[in-house]
Amino acid sequence: MQAEPNIRTRREPGQISPGSSAITKLKIFGAYQLAPQAIQFLWIGDSPLKSFQPKTSAPPSLRAISITLCLSLAVLLPAAAQAPADRRPSDRGPSPRNAGGRPFHNEAERAAHWKPVTIPYHRAALTPRDQQMVAKLADACRLMDMLYWHQSDLGGWAVYRVTQSEVLARLFNIMGSRYDLLEENETFLGEATMPPGHELYTYGLTRPQIEHYVSIHPEAKSAIYNERTVVRGTPGNLQTVPYHEAYAEWLGPMANDLRAAAKLSSDPAFAKYLNLRADALLSDAYYASDIAWLDLKNPKIDLIFAPYETYLDNLLGVKTSYGGAILIRNEAESRKLAAYQKNEAAMQQALPIPAEDKPSKQGQFTPMEVVDAPLRSGDLHYGYQAVADDLPNDARIHAEKGSKKIFFKNFMDARVSAVILPIAAKMLDPAQVGDVTGDGYLTAVILHEISHGLGPAYAHIDGKQIDIREAIGSYYGGLEEAKADVTGIFLAKWLVDHKILPQSALNSIYGSYVAGIFRTLRFGAGETHGRAETMEFNVLLEHGALHQNDAGRYTIDYTAMPDAIASLAQQLLIFESQGDRAGVEAWFKKYEVIPPALTKALESTKDVPVEIVPEFELSKGVRP
């Protein structure tokens, strides 16, 4: 995290960097099997050997060339990454810089911010047949990891598969790409800048170009904005490929694994779901399988397995990435969720927005599960480690049936002990550190996930009902995460006022929420959750709900917190109901900058891990 913005020379893709190092560099922006993104330049010294940029599609041979080039680079990486590792930082003085201003050889420093945590697989409670089923689900998850890299960063994936540098392999396994979440998505390999659409769009395509194209070709808008299509072609001739065609190489075997697992299941409803989900992988039609998933009644073993979230799409904010998790139910903890399930419809009506923006949840039973996840894949595996989820994201299903809330207890316990409590001890006034608790954090997380399913189902613009994700665009991810955070804390006060939660719990919820913000801010504003919580922090500071003392620590004003939270919750919910893209962008641009005083305060947490890194017993260290 930077105390002040980096000053660096900006250049267009393909423009040779003056003064580049003599180290051989490879700049690859991915090559997709149907229509590759550009291979930009291969340098030896400062001389470009080749320049190649296809205008539209290219044969599969080009993809093979790009992979070969990546493999050539990988041969050089161990020495390049490890050469200075035997020297102490104090011995080497200022780090040498590349043309973009980034230090060379700091891979170990980057990786040290993340704490490896072993995620065990407890087989004892499962029957031999259950274990066989889990093995098939694990096979499907490993294939999903490979597919995810083809959405995220093909050039990085090719190097990840063959590099002999342990520290570089660890960084790839953390990030799911060559872009560092803690450094505003700055690359830790080469000098390529992160395409805002990753591998989901033609490299270099911009949102204005897309919007111009669909204004001329309105018949193409539906396919281009579809959450499960890849966009290829040129700005004047955009083409789309459905996911089930673009990723057929992996989706077919994944579907076979799910069907094989269904045959091993002793739960007919779960077997039905697995078969329907296999069908969905091959058609992109997920509605029927999502309904079947919500209809499951307290399954002993469960599975998340679909393209749901839009975290990879910073261009339009609509394209989903694949994510998966094997879930084993924690029965004792799951029973404690009944009070929230009983009051969800009333919480929806308690939100501080007009009645027409609060579709009734009456009669909708929302399934909630506390689980352990012995294996995760895709966007649930890499980067930010979710401790809960609220799925599916389909607005139709939210309106008709609701959603399922999943709480990953093994991941939550690891985060609280390794990250949350140590950060609170360094950032909060000592008198308030005791307010941060595992129970308070769990309650905040539960209410966050419930709040994802509350509020407006659609935006209303000029009398038309529009999907909120489409209306808001690239800022949707940050807005929705912030809405869930703040609405959840707003509802904590409502639950206390209605004596559903004890009054004594409120300060613990507030304190644990603020400690969670400090954890997330260490990701920087380049990550979706970091963007959301940077904004939340600044608004709370502006409203006087947080104060920084002379020692640099923060004090929570518990009397100011309810009004600050209510005001912010109302604003975020209105942004969604009105589909106010311009308002959201202006709001975040105002509040998403991390203040210098906070940056300085966060330096006290430099020895605390930023996040855990799961090391799954079920994956056995296999790279995708």
Q: What angle separates helix 166-175 from helix 60-82, to the nearest 10 degrees?
A: 120
From its phi and psi, is residue 42 left (phi > 0), alpha (psi between -120 and 50) or beta? Answer: beta
| 616 DSSP 8-state letter | E
What pLDDT digit, counting tens, does each position of 75-94 carry? 344 434 333 333 333 333 34
Mean pLDDT of 274-285: 98
pLDDT of 313 above 80: yes
Determine the pLDDT at residue 69.
Answer: 54
Residues near 65 by beta carbon (within 8 Å), at least 6 away in sequence: 31, 39
540 token code pair: 């709370």
- Portion of the chain with pLDDT greater than 90, in percent: 69
Report whether 399 contacts 453 (CB < 8 A): no
Q: What is the DSSP string of 410-466?
A: HHHHHHIIIIIHHHHHHHB-GGGGGG--HHHHHHHHHHHHHHHTSS-SSEEETTEEE
* pLDDT at 50 > cutoff 70: no
SS3 state at 63: helix
Spatial separation of the C-alpha atoms in residues 413 and 237, rounded to whole Å? 50
Residue 13 pLDDT greater than 60, yes or no: no
Average pLDDT, the chain: 84
Helix/strand/coil percentages in the chain, nearest 5: 50, 15, 35
b (16+ CB within 10 A) / e for 31-40: bbbebbbbbb
At which residue do the structure tokens 């200022």 appear? 94
Q: What is the mean pLDDT of residues 448-477?
A: 91
- Beta-carbon contacts of 64 under 8 Å, excluding residues fewer than 6 positions away, are none
The vertex-514 CA angle with 385 and 456, nearest 5°, equals 75
* Cα gap 296→284, rounded to integer Å: 21
By three-state DSSP, how is residue 305 classified?
A: strand
Strand locations in 197-300, DSSP E? 229-234, 237-242
At 459 the pLDDT is 93
Task: Classify 368 as helix, strand or coil.
Answer: strand
In whole angstroms, what separates CA 529 from the centre of its chain? 8
CB contact at 8 A, 547 and 564: no
pLDDT (average), residues 579-594: 95
pLDDT in tens, 558-577: 999 999 999 999 999 999 99
CA separation (Å) from 170 to 77, 111, 163? 13, 7, 10
Q: Which of 7-21, 98-112, 432-446 has the lowest mean pLDDT?
A: 7-21
pLDDT for position 525: 72
Beta-strand relationship, 114-119 and 611-616: parallel
Retrieve residue 292's tokens: 């079947």
Query: What's residue 101's pLDDT?
Result: 53
Confidence (pLDDT) at 141: 97
Cα(527)–Cα(536) distance, rounded to whole angstroms? 14
Q: What is the pLDDT of residue 66?
A: 52
Average pLDDT on 34-38 reads 32
Q: Give 200-236 pLDDT, tens digit per residue.
A: 999 999 999 999 999 999 999 999 999 999 999 999 9
Q: Using DSSP bridges, classify how beta strands 321-329 and 368-378 pair: parallel, antiparallel or unpaired.
A: antiparallel
Distances (CA, A) of 503 to 341, 438, 450, 494: 20, 17, 20, 11
**Alpha-carbon radius of gyration of the chain:** 24
Residue 29 reports pLDDT greater than 80: no
Query: How far is Cα 556 from Cα 536, in angstroms, rounded to an integer?
Result: 14
SS3 of residue 352 by DSSP: coil
Q: What gap in Å lies between CA 164 and CA 186, rounded to an integer?
A: 22
Tokens of 16: 């040779």
Q: Are 375 and 616 in contact (CB under 8 A)?
A: yes
pLDDT digits (tens, 9 = 90+) for 163-189: 999 999 999 999 999 999 888 888 998
Comparing CA positions, the residue from 398, 369, 345 lying closest to residue 297 is 369
Instruction: Examine the pLDDT at 360 and tell me if it is beyond 60.
Output: yes
Q: 395: pLDDT confidence band, cut at 50, 70 and 90?
A: confident
Close Cβ partners of 282 (under 8 Å, ≥ 6 residues apart): 244, 248, 251, 252, 255
71 pLDDT more than 80: no
* Per-residue pLDDT, 333: 87
Of how many residues is the chain composed? 624
Task: Say what the pLDDT of residue 5 is.
Answer: 28
Q: Which of 15-29, 413-427, 436-450 has the lowest mean pLDDT?
A: 15-29
Tokens of 184: 């505003």
Helix axes 128-152, 154-162, angle to 10 degrees: 120
| pLDDT score recorded for residue 610 | 86
Looking at mean pLDDT, say which of 49-58, 147-156, 357-366, 437-446 comes out highest. Answer: 147-156
Please check the confidence at residue 198 and state whether its pLDDT lies above 80: yes
* Of 29-33, 72-76, 92-96, 172-176, the least confident: 29-33
Q: Please report the pLDDT score of residue 158 as a whole number.
A: 93
Return the residue matching tokens 């805002």.
Answer: 196
Q: Quote the pLDDT of residue 155.
A: 93
Mean pLDDT on 110-139 = 95
Q: Looking at residues 590-615, what average pLDDT do you find?
A: 93
Q: Which residues pair with 119 in a beta bridge?
A: 616
